[in-house]
Amino acid sequence: MSSTPAMTLQAAHALLKQLTEAKDGDELQKIISENIMWCDGVFFSELDLLTTEFKRRGDESSAAKLKEVGDYMARLRFMI
């Protein structure tokens, strides 16, 4: 049994909204550091879906940035 509760879809969506609306790198880093402990498979699945949606809309720049943030968060979350 996990020591941290599973992230809900609503929480994952709220966090993704915060990440995509961060005004600069400092704000992004703060959001990540405050939330990384809760990020689980639900969050990373939703992040992948959002990245795919950006690509589908032709927004390659946002897709690439979100993928980069997601890769960074996955390294932090699972390799510490």
19, part of any domain: no
Judge whether 57 lies within some domain.
yes
> Model confidence over 3-44: pLDDT tens digits?
557 899 999 999 999 999 999 999 999 999 999 999 999 999
Residue range(s) defining the domain that contains residue 76: 33-80
Rounded Cα gap, residues 78 and 58, in angstroms: 30
Spatial separation of the C-alpha atoms in residues 53 and 60, rounded to whole Å: 10
Number of domains in the chain: 1
Contact 13, 42 (CB under 8 A): no
- pLDDT number for residue 42: 96
Distance CA(60)–CA(79), nearest Å, equals: 28
Non-local CB neighbours of 16 within 8 Å, separated by 6+ positions: 43, 46, 47, 50
The DSSP call for residue 37 is G
Res 80 pLDDT > 70? no
